[in-house]
Structure 1
Amino acid sequence: MRPLPAVHLRKKAAVAPHTEDGRGGRPGAAGPAAPPPDPSRWRALTVCLVAGFMTLLDVSIVNVALPSIRAALKAPEADLQWVLSGYALAFGLFLIPAGRIGDARGRRAVFMTGLALFVVASAACGAAQSSGWLVAARAVQGLAGGLISPQISALIQQMFSGAERGRAFGMLGSVIGISTAVGPLLGGLLIHAAGAHEGWRWVFYVNVPIGVVCLVLARRLLPDTPSARRVSLRRLDPVGVALLGSGMLSLLLPFIQAQQWHGPEKWLLLVPAAALLSGFVVWERRQTARGQSPLLDLTLFHERSYWLGCALILLYFGGFTSIFFITALYLQAGVHLSALAAGLAITPFAVGSGVAAGIGGRLVARFGRRLVAVGLAMVATGLVGTALAVHLVAGKSSAWAMAAPLLLAGLGSGLVIAPNQTLTLSKVPVRSAGSAGGTLQTGQRVGSAVGIAAVGAVFFARLTHHGWASAYDHGLIVSIAFVLGALLLALADLGTGLES
């Protein structure tokens, strides 16, 4: 059982932690004792976190490599956009089906399949001889990342309980925060070391040896899923997968292609998106009523902790991810820093997020949603400070002025992501952990796409007439608005007196 606020812990302290169905027996009832914790669980967690770090790092590390890719492959702007958005789209679309398949067929097997595919796709990306080749390989890489990611949170649910589970999710939160923040820095380092012309290939090749080692260790250390069994294609709900996938594609495309598709016609895609996602909900309810296995158990959203946490993280990632998007643009194109120097300037956020995430994982059981609210307030305050630093300090010196407020924002971020994940999944049965975790992460990807589109629209519109500093300030204002929206949700939860 996942760490809960103290009131929940007192009520559920007697539940045995490691049974797959989450029941674990009744206090005082006769029966076999709960099995002891797996002595390899922390080493297994390390394998999961390294694999998760690779998949999430590839969301942001490619940004600094785009100029080199464009020169080497003579890639048009549209293909450069798809190198980024194709990965994110494939990643997001496959999270929920992958979680469902992992719950049904075995999380270790699905994790290893995704990891093997990720290694092969990374090698194909590095060997690309055309932009079309690279776009296709990136899509496969994103699909593989979508296979891996939901298995990690489900395996944490399976391997850990109580305070240990909070610490494990704290470490996962560190990985999420650091991987996003340090992507530009690591990309800059690789390009600097390997050379501007061919260095971009090592942004992808670096995944190959790391992935192979993880694959070998995963086979040895990761546990089987006790409830895994052979299932028919029908039980994997292919109709639900098709409805959800096409609905998500229709929803995300106008946001992802906002800069490429001019005119308002692109927003007409939101109409079929609404219809397809509504059809998905109707179909899933029908599957449940028939006693079939739905792709997504909609009863999860009856839990206040679950639906509130999903909405909160969607808004937060709308502001969180867009920070790095506009900061990298401002520092490299606006004040003419190198890719490596721009990555270094963002490092304080990564450091703060990594430090605070581990602390947040240990404190969430004690403070609950209050901890998340404090973290969100810190992020908003840090972003306001960052905007003021750019406004008050001109030129390359602004990168130094941004360090302290970005550190504060990073510390706050570490108190948001892992604790919110712990609270959101706190009442989810272990047997549904993969599907629930996949849904939560899909919300993160959707939030990221919408946030980057909204912030980017304001940023570029302001840039045309008012310059880089003003554009960056106004882009940050939109990012802050997303973070404040998440904060209002957390405060509303606290205000009810029924804290999740």
Structure 2
Amino acid sequence: MTGQQLQPRRSSWIAFAVATSVAVLTILDVVKVNVVLTPLEETLGATPTQTSLVVAGYVLAFGIALVPSGRLGDQWNRKAMFMIGLVIFTVASLAAALAPTATLLVVARILQGVAAGTLMPQVLGMIQTLFQDEARGKAFGIFGAAIGLGTAFGPTLGGVFIGTFGAELGWRWTFGMNVPLALLIIPLALWLIPAGQPRQGRADLDLVGVALLAASVLFVMLPFVLTTGSNDQPLRWLFLLVGAITSVAFVRWEFRYRNAGRSPVLDFSLFGFSSYRNGVVITTLFFAAMPAMFLVMTLFNQQGLGHDPVIVGLITVPYAVVSAIVAGVIGRYTFRYATGLIIWGFIIFIAALIGLVAVSVLIPPEHNPLAMTIVLAFAGVGPGFIMAANQMRTLMDVPVLQGGVAGSFQQVGQRVGNAIGIAVGSAIFYSLVVAVPRDATGMPDPTDPDSVAAYSHAFQMAMAVLILFCLVALIFAGIDHRARSRQLAEQPLSSTHPRP
């Protein structure tokens, strides 16, 4: 290759590194709050509802902002949207770190979520534009590794900050760490991320479609993010009915809008690709299981068994390292073997989840963190396969011009799955330990055998539901594998690029 050929490729990878580092920050903020919820209650006087909203408000706003932001990035300017989102994320992170009350912390977290939802689709759209074929598979492999690291290291970071700085400064630094990192990234992004991108005709935002989609995501996610497992209002499930109504209205509007010759916010022709259709379902189910697994594992070890937040945070380190290495190595093979890798990834991950349940039954409480660390190291192989391969497989057939909105809708699936999984897992967990006696600080006695038994049972029941999510995802992975096999079998018969 000539020097002129190498330069664009090198610059593409540098831009990719900058963009992916920001995506990791947004994912860290989904999971690193798990270990700071108890300190928030102790130092800020946060109620259980407020601590729930610190987690759920971010996820909810993240999900709502994704598709409109992806659409704006595709049709206007991805770099501009990226910079806007990054600046808002920085300001919101500073506000969260300095929040004097729990209410203001919740507001800051919601603003953070909006910024994260603005950033993520731009990153996915950039990958679609910067890379093709095997290079795109490698990029998505690295992206999957980075996201896996962020997901697994989040609780570790929170635990380290609390262990180092104490309860109050610890949770404040958990949010505040974003500020210096973002201030470092902002000039690099301005300098290194390319401003040019493919375009299709005039920009057409479809404000009615944006509003209907935002309402649909809001009302579908809201009853789940309001589910805490304690004194929940049954009428919250009526939001699902409202969400169904707005979803039907959204679909009808989008078809009408497209038939009028205009560009809808979400082109439903994307779902004509089986790779995209199945990939969105798989990622939704996987993210219903993985973050919720981290949450209930943290609650079990920290509250039920009384282990230090630093120790609990360190449990996920081998998982993070293994999943990142596997995703990075596997990326080059995802263009050809994506569907098979996804199947094996779920088989390994399900086996590991069963292993975590076995640990809670067979291993003494004092050795539980070490045993779970070993099981999670094995578990990391599964997500390493899944995250790299499914990201590639989902967007494999999507036109580059629709990369941002297609990737953002996949991310909507992740956030909806995240909300559902955390709601179901935490509701089951909390409902089964609600009767456990607690001291003046509201914490159970980790030396009481009855308390430990109750927390162990709660962990096992929550994990059983998460295993079920993964089994359903495995079924869809098998369906997608068959579709891909048929596609490859028909490929020699056509001179065009095969479509599912």
2:206 corresponds to which residue?
A: 237
CA contact 1:106–1:228 (8 Å) conserved in 2? no
Q: Does 1:307 align with 2:277?
A: yes
Q: Does 1:318 align with 2:305?
A: no
CA distance in 1, matches of 2:302, 2:248: 42
Which stretch shows the higher mean deviation, 263-272 or 365-374?
Answer: 263-272
For residues 387-422 of structure 1, the C-alpha deviation after alignment (integer angstroms, 9 at most, x for no partner) is 111111021201111223212221101100121010
Deviation at 1:354, TM superposition (A): 1.0
1:489 corresponds to which residue?
A: 476
Q: Does 1:96 align with 2:84?
A: no
Task: Please point out which of 332, 335, 344 is paired with 1:374.
Answer: 344
DSSP-derived class of the 1:225 partner: coil
Which stretch shows the higher mean deviation, 416-425 or 222-231?
Answer: 222-231
Deviation at 1:464, TM superposition (A): 4.8
Task: Please point out which of 299, 319, 323 is paired with 1:329.
Answer: 299
CA distance in 1, matches of 2:434, 2:197: 58
CA contact 2:274–2:480 (8 Å) conserved in 1? no
Q: Does 1:283 align with 2:283?
A: no
Q: Are the structure 2 counterparts of residues 342 and 106 from structure 1 closer, same or farther at C-alpha, using a change threshold of 3 Å?
A: same
Task: Please point out which of 454, 463, 467 is paired with 2:454.
Answer: 467
Task: Please point out which of 24, 40, 44 is paired with 1:73.
Answer: 44
CA contact 1:318–1:450 (8 Å) conserved in 2? yes
CA distance in 2, matches of 1:263, 1:108: 42
Structure 1 unaligned regions, length at least 5:
1-32
1:25 corresponds to which residue?
A: none
Q: Does 1:57 align with 2:44?
A: no
For residues 120-161 of structure 1, the C-alpha deviation after alignment (integer angstroms, 9 at most, x for no partner) is 111111111111111111111110011110111111111112
Deviation at 1:230, TM superposition (A): 10
Figure out how many residues of one structure are paired with residues of the other and give that number.
466
2:105 corresponds to which residue?
A: 134
CA distance in 2, matches of 1:173, 1:237: 31
Q: Are the structure 2 counterparts of residues 166 and 227 from structure 1 closer, same or farther at C-alpha, using a change threshold of 3 Å?
A: closer
Q: Percent identity among equivalent residues?
A: 38
Deviation at 1:35, TM superposition (A): 11
CA distance in 2, matches of 1:199, 1:34: 48
2:226 corresponds to which residue?
A: 257
CA contact 1:368–1:423 (8 Å) conserved in 2? yes
Task: Please point out which of 120, 127, 148 is paired with 1:177.
Answer: 148
Q: Which amino acid aligns with 1:334?
A: G
CA contact 1:105–1:230 (8 Å) conserved in 2? no
Q: Are the structure 2 counterparts of residues 321 and 43 from structure 1 closer, same or farther at C-alpha, using a change threshold of 3 Å?
A: same
DSSP-derived class of the 2:370 partner: helix
2:123 corresponds to which residue?
A: 152
DSSP-derived class of the 2:248 partner: helix
CA distance in 1, matches of 2:486, 2:375: 33
Which stretch shows the higher mean deviation, 342-351 or 299-308?
Answer: 342-351
CA contact 1:68–1:198 (8 Å) conserved in 2? no
CA contact 2:144–2:384 (8 Å) conserved in 1? yes
RMSD: 2.0
1:122 corresponds to which residue?
A: 93
CA distance in 1, matches of 2:467, 2:165: 37
CA contact 1:376–1:416 (8 Å) conserved in 2? yes
DSSP-derived class of the 1:197 partner: helix
Q: Does 1:392 align with 2:362?
A: yes
2:387 corresponds to which residue?
A: 417
Q: Does 1:498 align with 2:486?
A: yes
CA distance in 2, matches of 1:293, 1:366: 32
CA contact 2:199–2:401 (8 Å) conserved in 1? no
For residues 331-381 of structure 1, the C-alpha deviation after alignment (integer angstroms, 9 at most, x for no partner) is 101111111100111222212211111122122123120111000100001
Which stretch shows the higher mean deviation, 396-405 or 176-185?
Answer: 396-405
1:21 corresponds to which residue?
A: none
Query: Given the two structures, how large is their TM-score scaled by the length of structure 2?
Result: 0.89
